[in-house]
Structure 1
Amino acid sequence: MTELYHWFDLIGIAVFAISGTIVAYEKKMDGFGVVVLATVTAIGGGTVRDVILDVPVFWLHDQSYFFAILAAVLITSRLINKQKSIPYYTLQIADAFGLAFFAVMGTQKALLAGMPEMTAIIMGVITACFGGLIRDVLAREIPMLLKGELYAITCIAGGIVYTLSVYFSFVTELAMVLAMLMTLFLRFSAIKWKITLHVFKYPD
């Protein structure tokens, strides 16, 4: 089971590294900038989570995370150079899958650390969103977390589905899949139909 969780973590790391690489391409960064942006996107949220939970930071003693990041950077860079352009929605798709994986993995890790359900859901949001937040700040963009279609809300929904599934004794793998699908469904729906949480009324 631990090995399965590790593979889920690696997939989430790779997906977020892809989104970081795409942003670096759009900002015309050099090779070092690409690696830095991909890395902070991939491990930023999990690092903040582990520091808050006061547990060992997940990547300190496991080099496989960096191998996953480098592989994602190399493959994505090669594909971009070959295609000479990327569809505008590619970043949104990569980011959505990253949210789905990390919202669940962050919630799960917090529950395993003995945190109450609400705290675990917040840890899931931090895990999923803070890497992208750091990425966008470094790229001098308004973070996706703070604008546009539903973002953190989708992670909250995924965390709620996971904690409820655990509460009702669902098989762990099923709970993870259901929570990830909920996160993806809400995020893609928000992108497609421009669903936002309006607070202020702005002139057109």
Structure 2
Amino acid sequence: MTELYHWFDLIGVAVFAVSGTLLAYEKKMDGFGVVVLATVTAIGGGTVRDLILDVPVFWLHDQSYFFAILASVFVTTRLLNKQKPIPHYILQTADAFGLAFFAVMGAQKAQLAGMPDMTAVIMGVITGCFGGLIRDVLAREIPMLLKGELYAITCIAGGSVYTLCISFSLVTEVAMILGMLMTLLLRFAAIKWKITLHVFKYPD
């Protein structure tokens, strides 16, 4: 079962690495910049989570994460070099899938570390959002976390569904899938219908 979770983690890392590579392409970065942006997007959130939880940082003794990042960078750059400029929604789609994987994986790791449900949900938000936050800051973009359609809220929803399912003794795999689906569908709905959380009245 641990092997299955590890593969879920690798998929999340790979998808977020694609997201970082796509933004590096938009910003016309060089090869080193592409790898840096892909890497911080892929492992930034999980690194912050592990430091807060005071557990070993997940990638320190496992090279497979870097292989997943480099493979994602290689495949994405090859495809981009053969295609026309890609629409921005592709970046949003890749980011949404990474968000869904990491929101649940972060909550699960916090629970395994003995944290209460609310802390687990917060750790899911950090895991899902902070890699993208670092990516956007390095690319000199206003982070998705701080503007536009629902972002962190989708992680809170997905993490909450996961922890509730676990508290009702659902099978862990089912709880993970439901949590991921909640995050993913809510994020896609927010993008499609421009769902935001306004607290100020702005002029047009």
- Post-superposition Cα deviations, 1:55-105, rounded to whole Å, max 9, x if no partner, equal 000000000000000000000001111003112210000000000000000
Counterpart for residue 133 of structure 1? 133
Structure 1 runs of 4+ aligned residues shifted over 6 Å read none
Tell me, in whole angstroms, the C-alpha distance in 2 between the residues paired with 1:23 and 1:92.
10
Match of 1:2 in 2: 2
Letter in 2 for 1:80: L
TM-score by length of 2: 0.99
Is 1:187 equivalent to 2:197 in the alignment? no
Q: Please name the residue that 2:98 is paired with.
A: 98
Unaligned runs of 5+ in 2: none
Deviation at 1:53, TM superposition (A): 0.2
Corresponding letter in the other structure for 1:97: F
CA distance in 2, matches of 1:171, 1:123: 21
Aligned residues: 204
Instruction: Work out whether 1:175 is the aligned partner of 2:172.
Output: no
Residue 35 of structure 1 aligns to a residue whose secondary structure is helix
Matches within 5 A, 1:95-174: 95-174=95-174
Amino acid at match of 1:149: E
Cα distance in structure 2, aligned partners of 1:123 and 1:97: 17
Match of 1:34 in 2: 34
3-state DSSP of counterpart to 2:88: coil
Quick one: which amino acid aligns to residue 69 of structure 1? I
CA distance in 2, matches of 1:156, 1:148: 17
Q: Quick one: which amino acid aligns to residue 169 of structure 2? A: S
Q: CA RMSD in A?
A: 0.4
Cα distance in 1 for residues equivalent to 2:52 and 2:23:
27
Structure 1 residue 191 displacement after superposition: 0.2
Partner amino acid, structure 2, of 1:150: L
Query: How far, CA to CA, are the matches of 2:123 and 2:89 in structure 1?
Result: 27
Separation in structure 2 between the aligned mates of residue 153 and residue 95 of structure 1, nearest angstrom: 14
Percent identity over the alignment?
86
Give the Cα separation in 1 of the matches to 2:55 and 2:112: 11
Residue 22 of structure 1: CA displacement? Answer: 0.3
Matching residue of 2:75: 75
Task: Supply the distance in 2 between the matched residues of 1:157 and 1:121 (Cα, whole angstroms).
Answer: 9
Unaligned runs of 5+ in 1: none
